[in-house]
Amino acid sequence: MLGRVLLWASESARLQRFISRSRVSQPVVKRFVAGDRLEDALTAIRELNGLGIGGILDLLGEGVTDPAGAQAAADEYLTSIQRLPEEGLDTTISVKPTQLGLAFDLDACLAHLRRLAAAARDANTTLEIDIEQVEYVGDTVTLFRRLREDYDDVRLALQTYLRRTPEDLNAMADLKPKVRLVKGAYSEAPEVAFQSRREIDAQYRVLTDWLFDHGSDPGIATHDDRLIEHAKRAAERSGVGKAGFEFQMLYGIRRDLQEALVAEGYRVRVYVPFGSAWYPYLMRRMAERPANLRFFMRALVGA
């Protein structure tokens, strides 16, 4: 119940204005967001690289409603990608399709993605396509399939809690898709998404097995110890070993676990968001993990 309330809060413009203007929210923002500027994110990724952890660079923002906004986001991403060779950092680039205009022009969004994928290839890195609300999932899968025609290293995030995800994966089996498997972080109706942790975790295990059997280089995006152990067993059973997949986690969460997995010889990447549009992202992080909410509340009361 609390998680659903927080997901509702992530879409509330009134709450966004109140919390964004509150100085007491800043300690929480600093924990989960690298900063407002690209330089902040590059510094955070450099620190992660020093620990043997890769980055996933993410410019915060979503739900763009006009071509000029989509163009501006694409240009900012292009600038970020072009910085990477001179920085020598180990990071991929994560993009949200609605940030690039998916909500109003699929073909223009695809053109932006193609431009960014080409730049990423020139910079010796790859794109990771985020997945968003269920109404955009079908078009996002279409974008992924069309992008894969020329860029077979692109990775797509898929959400475990959506009832449709097994069908989406089976429909892409011919691609041996690279997938980042996440639990899901939007408020969706019971008709389209599982609501209980038990159901979501059960599907996560099934889809993890599918990715090791039919996908390539899975990204297992979870902080859940039990699901991590399941992924380890699935990797061993499938024969891909520690080098054949990676764990993906969020900036500001479970650094101890990230370092422990690296020490065991596993590949780890951390999702590093930056930018001023942090409110929806932060609220979804609160909804996902009660420990994050406790940290937030302590900051609000000055504890």
- What are the φ/ψ torsions at residue 8 (nearest 5 degrees)? -60, -45
Task: Report the distance separating Cα 84 and Cα 101, nearest Å.
Answer: 25
Task: Report the distance separating Cα 286 and Cα 283, nearest Å.
Answer: 5
Closest CA to 269 of 39, 78, 49: 49
108: which residues sit within 8 A by CB, 6+ positions away? 67, 70, 100, 101
125: which residues sit within 8 A by CB, 6+ positions away? 81, 84, 91, 92, 93
- Looking at residue 75, its amino acid is D
- For 159, the enclosing helix (H) or strand (E) is strand 155-159
Structure tokens at 11: 């879409």
Task: Report the distance separating Cα 253 and Cα 271, nearest Å.
Answer: 10
- For 132, the enclosing helix (H) or strand (E) is none
Task: Report the distance separating Cα 195 and Cα 3, nearest Å.
Answer: 10
List, by residue number, the catalytic residues: 130, 180
